[in-house]
């Protein structure tokens, strides 16, 4: 996919300001939207959806964009845990760096509920967040990506967690 960018770079991770280790509080105004695949989600009101092959929305000033995609397959007994997420995404994240020239931030977080990672790509920061759930006999993997012009924004990852937690299955359509 990124073969024409292929080059070996020394491994370096861009530092993320961790000075506020005790956490911080912020509030979001959210608006609910129906996704095409029997889910609804709440996203910040600043994002305005537009026509696309998947759910996408952007801010009026085009500084931020969000993409949400659900992939479904038959559940074959997979256990959704930290190991599941690492096996699902770490090789792809490495490919972003090795072949795509992405510069990784040092904010990888993998839990039993999600995996998240961000990258500097030219003039923007891209925030990747993946979660999974079992619904009936289906494994549903949800991919969220926020692209923002500018440097790392420490509010984006908690925002993605809030968006993920708002994702609700509405039934088969």
pLDDT for residue 36: 82
Domain span including residue 46: 29-169
Is 33 a domain residue?
yes
Total number of domains in the chain: 1
CATH number, position 108: 3.40.1000.10
pLDDT for residue 144: 98
Tens of pLDDT along the chain (173 residues) come to 444 444 444 556 777 765 555 566 778 899 999 998 799 999 999 999 998 888 999 999 999 999 999 999 999 999 999 999 999 999 999 999 999 999 999 999 999 999 999 999 999 999 999 999 999 999 999 999 999 999 999 999 999 999 999 999 998 64
Is 105 a domain residue?
yes
pLDDT for residue 56: 96
pLDDT for residue 5: 44
Q: Which of 13, 28, 41 has the alpha carbon at shortest distance from 158?
A: 28
∠ CA 70-133-104, rounded to 5°: 65
Is 11 a domain residue?
no
Is 8 a domain residue?
no
CA 20 to CA 106: how far, in whole Å?
A: 15
Q: Look at the alpha carbons of 48, 49, 51, 56 in this order and tell me if their dihedral is positive or negative.
A: positive
Is 10 a domain residue?
no
């Amino acid at each position: 996919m990124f073969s024409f960018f292929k080059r070996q770079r020394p491994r370096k991770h861009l530092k993320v300001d961790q000075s506020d280790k005790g956490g911080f509080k912020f509030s979001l105004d959210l608006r609910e939207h129906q996704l095409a695949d029997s889910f609804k989600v709440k996203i910040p009101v600043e994002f305005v959806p537009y026509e696309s092959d998947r759910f996408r929305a952007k801010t009026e000033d085009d500084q931020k964009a969000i993409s949400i995609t659900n992939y479904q397959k038959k559940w074959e007994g997979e256990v959704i845990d930290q190991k599941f997420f690492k096996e699902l995404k770490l090789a792809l994240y490495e490919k972003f760096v090795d072949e795509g020239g992405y510069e990784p931030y040092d904010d990888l977080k993998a839990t039993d509920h999600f995996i998240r990672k961000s990258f500097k790509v030219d003039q923007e920061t891209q925030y990747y967040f993946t979660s999974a759930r079992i619904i009936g006999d289906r494994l549903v993997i949800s991919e969220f990506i926020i692209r923002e012009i500018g440097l790392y924004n420490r509010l984006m990852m908690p925002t993605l967690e809030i968006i993920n937690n708002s994702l609700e299955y509405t039934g088969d359509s």
